A and B are shown apart, each in its own frame.
Chain A
Amino acid sequence: DIQMTQSPSSLSASVGDRVTITCRASQSITRYLNWYQQKPGKPPKLLIYGASSLQSGVPSRFSGSGSGTDFTLTITSLQPEDFATYYCQQSQSTPYTFGQGTNLEIK
């Protein structure tokens, strides 16, 4: 199975900050990498697919980049509604696997 490792596991930031979350795959997944946001009591919500494509309806302050084994999710100008947990997920091969999550908290 492909292992996905996110860093950091938790992050404190302020409204208006720019933050970056990193995801590393245990082997090359080309650009088969997706990002999700999850708030307490809710299912994950798709933000980015194919490493850098923005899902319809997602604000443009979210962006993704990377290929191979190293990927990043960047949020520019954090808004109050962005404080949540973020997950990466590989879709190169089954079993599809997720990172352990990055909890973004208000500083």
Chain B
Amino acid sequence: QVLLQQSGPGLVRPSQTLSLTCTISGDSVSSNSAVWTWIRQSPSRGLEWLGRTYYRSKWYSDSAASVSSRTTINPDTSKNQFSLQLNSVTPEDSAVYYCVRLVGSSWFDSWGQGILVTVSS
């Protein structure tokens, strides 16, 4: 059974960087079949895919065009984790953030518990 445990602050100041970490149990961040993703959910934007990282003989990371200029998603193989950094946040980035495993022909089968991040001064 895969468990994803998220950590990070619940409050971030405007223009600062949102940083979240997802610790994986029951699978490996270096898996050749899984893709490790970040999704957020807010009343105004619904469920929004932010980006992913995955290993297929080498590491790949990419993100949604709407946030790509501000987003970094990285694996940490020593800790079996992956992380999200979102720079220059505004109140519109306030949302519940989830780390999620994607498998097969791209379905999200394991979700972290979610962290509510509020961007406010």
A interface with B by C-beta (< 8 Å): 32, 34, 36, 42-46, 49-50, 55, 87, 89, 91, 94-98, 100-101
Near A by CB (< 8 A), chain B positions 85-113 give 98, 100, 104-109, 111-113
Q: Given known contacts A44-B111, A91-B107, what 20 new A-B pairs fall within 8 Å (CB)?
A: A32-B106, A36-B108, A42-B114, A43-B98, A43-B111, A43-B112, A43-B113, A43-B114, A44-B108, A49-B104, A49-B107, A50-B107, A55-B109, A89-B107, A89-B108, A94-B52, A95-B49, A96-B49, A98-B46, A98-B48
**Could you say which residues of chain A place their CB within 8 Å of the CB of B111?**
43-45
Inter-chain CB contacts under 8 Å: number = 53
**Could you say which residues of chain B place their CB within 8 Å of the CB of A45?**
111
Main secondary structure of the interface of B (DSSP, over half): strand
Q: Complex formed: what's the CA distance from A43 to B47 in Å?
A: 11
Main secondary structure of the interface of A (DSSP, over half): loop
CB distance from B81 to the nearest CB of A (A): 18
Q: How many of B's residues come within 8 Å of A, CB to CB?
A: 21
**Could you say which residues of chain B place their CB within 8 Å of the CB of A32?**
105-106
Q: Complex formed: what's the CA distance from A38 to B117 in Å?
A: 19
**Could you say which residues of chain A place their CB within 8 Å of the CB of B114?**
42-43
Contact of A95 with B64 in the complex, beta carbons under 8 Å: yes
Q: What are 12 A-B contacts with C-beta separation under 8 Å?
A: A43-B111, A44-B108, A44-B111, A45-B111, A46-B107, A49-B104, A55-B109, A94-B62, A94-B64, A95-B49, A95-B66, A98-B48
CB distance from A35 to the nearest CB of B (A): 9
Contact of A44 with B47 in the complex, beta carbons under 8 Å: yes
